[in-house]
């Protein structure tokens, strides 16, 4: 006989998996390959400010500056601001040396004495952009651009509805976990962008219309980071899109588990706070297309992981009290962990739950690599 606990567990686990799968397939079939309804023009060449936050980046900073230097964009229209938080590994010396060899690129160096986190540095750097700059690009020191990255990125801003643009990120190293995660993630983000906007942006490369920044600022609440810039831009009434025609590559470095927990943590903070924040600031504008996307993503991040946890708990309880079916289901669910995509999904649910618990007692701003 199948007991009530097991039935309930089955219902929850089905709900947990079927909803995101259905959303993914709907986006992939219906939206992913649609043409963009965004006006683009390669002749649009506004002045741009590129902000690069750095903390101990001596290994990558020269390559980063070279990547910017060889962009197929008029060099005179580019300004670069390095926002450093007291690097101790020679990053500053490397930048200064590079500047001497490349005097035709406008580069400013902003140095904070102490480390107050990436977001703090990014927001502070906004005070240094020149007033006639039309687009602000935020990009990590370890994110490498193809030479056309900037010009492609800028061309999307011809459309006055576009408030921010982010790129898909690819990895220079092979990591099957990261690949499975990105495959799912990129399909969803790009397809949502074609509908209207996506609620999560990619810190390694994202650009925002400067006048929006100047007028409305950016999310600066505790625990927030650049991934929530997308939601904020969408909540103030502009399209926040992830495009698929720019190649940005990032090396995988440091502890991946720590990185994934941090990523989950910022996702949780974004879905719990950004909408309230926009409303509190009085800049919130209702948009039905984005509200639908937001509600689904909110559910997937904040509620859906718990369905899995509750379901597993019920199955364990039921197995302990003698249900063979529950035991078999636990066995089958565990066996599936050999499948990479399934394992990545389950781990992501664990990270989200850990992040949610963690966010309820601490708001972190700084992370070890």
Interface positions, 86-115, toward ligand GDP (CB under 6 A): 115
Query: Which of 6, 85, 186, 228 contacts ligand GDP by CB under 6 A?
Result: 85
163 near ligand GDP (CB under 6 A): no
Residue 188 contacts residue 27 (beta carbons within 8 Å): yes
When the beta carbons of 117 and 237 are compared against ligand GDP, the nearer one is: 117
Stretch that binds ligand GDP, among 11-19, 116-124, 174-182, 289-297 (CB under 6 A): 116-124
Cβ atoms of 165 and 157 closer than 8 Å: yes
- Binding string to Mn ion for residues 164 to 203, with x set by CB under 5 A, is what? ----------------------------------------
Q: Does 226 bind Mn ion (CB under 5 A)?
A: no
Q: Of 19-27, 135-143, 279-287, 288-296, which segment contacts ligand GDP by CB under 6 A?
A: 135-143
- Residue 254 Cβ, how far from Mn ion at the closest point, in Å? 8
Angle between helices 304-320 and 324-335 (to 10 degrees): 130
> Between 163 and 203, whose beta carbon lies closer to Mn ion?
203
Q: Which residue, 200, 78, 70, is CA-closest to 132?
A: 78
Our finding on whether 140 is near ligand GDP (CB under 6 A) is yes
Q: Which residues contact 364 (CB under 8 A, 6 or more apart)?
A: 223, 262, 265, 358
Which strands, in side-by-side order, build the sheet including 78-84?
106-111, 78-84, 48-54, 135-139, 205-209, 162-171, 239-250, 144-145
Residue-wise burial string across 193-222, b where 16 or more C-beta atoms lie within 10 A, e elsewhere: bbbbbbbbbbbbbbbbbbebbeebebbeee
Q: How many residues bind ligand GDP (CB under 6 A)?
A: 17
Could you tell me which stretch among 141-149, 194-202, 236-244, 291-299 binds Mn ion (CB under 5 A)? Answer: 141-149
3-state DSSP helix/strand/coil % of the chain, to nearest 5: 55, 15, 30
The answer to the question of residue 224 lying near ligand GDP (CB under 6 A) is: no
Site string for ligand GDP, 52-81 (x = CB under 6 A): -xxx-x------------------------
Q: Which partner, Mn ion, ligand GDP, none, binds residue 57 by CB below 5 to 8 Å per kind?
A: ligand GDP
- Site for ligand GDP contains 182 (CB under 6 A): no
Cβ neighbourhood burial of 99 (10 Å; 0-12, 13-18, 19+): middle
The reply on whether position 159 binds Mn ion by CB under 5 A is: no
Can residue 336 be called a binding residue for ligand GDP (CB under 6 A)?
no
The DSSP H or E segment spanning 52 is strand 48-54
> Counting contacts by CB under 5 A, is residue 142 touching Mn ion?
yes
Indicate left, alpha or beta for 282 from its phi (over 0: left) and psi (-120 to 50: alpha): left
The secondary structure element, H or E, covering residue 280 is helix 256-280
Stretch touching ligand GDP by CB under 6 A, among 7-15, 140-148, 212-220, 236-244: 140-148
**Burial of 17 by CB count in 10 Å (0-12 exposed, 13-18 middle, 19+ buried)?**
middle
The minimum distance between CB 240 and ligand GDP, in angstroms, equals 19
Selected from 259, 281, 343, 358, the binder of ligand GDP by CB under 6 A is 259
Compute the least distance from the CB of residue 249 to ligand GDP, in Å. 12
Which of ligand GDP, Mn ion, none has residue 55 at its interface (CB below 5 to 8 Å by kind)? ligand GDP
Q: Are 47 and 77 in contact (CB under 8 A)?
A: yes
Angle at alpha carbon of residue 160, lines to 297 and 152, rounded to 5°: 80
Residues of this chain that interact with ligand GDP (CB under 6 A) are 53-55, 57, 83-85, 115, 117-118, 121, 140-142, 259, 366, 369
């Amino acid at each position: 006989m199948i007991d009530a606990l097991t039935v309930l567990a089955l219902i929850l686990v089905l709900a947990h998996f079927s909803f995101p799968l259905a959303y993914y397939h709907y986006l992939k079939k219906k939206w992913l390959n649609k043409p963009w309804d965004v006006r683009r023009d390669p002749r649009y060449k506004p002045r741009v400010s590129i902000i690069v936050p750095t903390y101990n980046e001596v290994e990558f900073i020269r390559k980063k500056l070279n990547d910017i230097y060889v962009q197929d964009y008029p060099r005179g229209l580019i300004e670069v601001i390095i926002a450093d938080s007291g690097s101790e590994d020679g990053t500053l010396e490397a930048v200064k040396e590079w500047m001497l060899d490349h005097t035709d690129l406008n580069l400013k160096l902003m140095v904070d004495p102490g480390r107050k986190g990436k977001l703090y540095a990014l927001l502070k750097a906004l005070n240094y952009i020149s007033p006639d700059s039309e687009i602000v690009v935020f990009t990590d020191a370890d994110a490498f651009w193809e030479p056309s990255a900037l010009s492609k990125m800028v061309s999307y801003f011809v459309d006055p509805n576009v408030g921010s643009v982010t790129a898909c990120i690819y990895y220079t190293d092979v990591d099957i976990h990261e690949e499975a995660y990105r495959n799912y993630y990129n399909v969803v983000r790009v397809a949502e962008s074609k509908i209207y906007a996506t609620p999560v942006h990619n810190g390694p490369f994202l650009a925002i219309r400067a006048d929006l920044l100047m007028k409305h600022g950016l999310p600066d609440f505790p625990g927030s980071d650049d991934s929530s810039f997308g939601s904020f831009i969408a909540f103030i009434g502009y399209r926040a899109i992830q495009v698929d025609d720019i190649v940005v590559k990032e090396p995988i470095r440091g502890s991946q588990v720590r990185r994934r927990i941090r990523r989950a943590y910022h996702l949780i903070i974004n879905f719990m706070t950004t909408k309230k924040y926009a409303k509190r600031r009085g800049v919130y504008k209702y948009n039905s297309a984005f509200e639908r996307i937001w509600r689904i993503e909110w559910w997937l991040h904040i509620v859906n992981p718990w369905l899995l946890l509750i379901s597993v708990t019920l199955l364990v309880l039921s197995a302990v009290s003698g249900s063979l079916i529950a035991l078999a289901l636990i066995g089958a669910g565990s066996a599936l962990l050999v499948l990479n995509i399934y394992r990545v999904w389950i781990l992501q649910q664990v990270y989200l739950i850990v992040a949610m618990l963690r966010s309820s007692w601490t708001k972190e701003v700084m992370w070890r690599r």
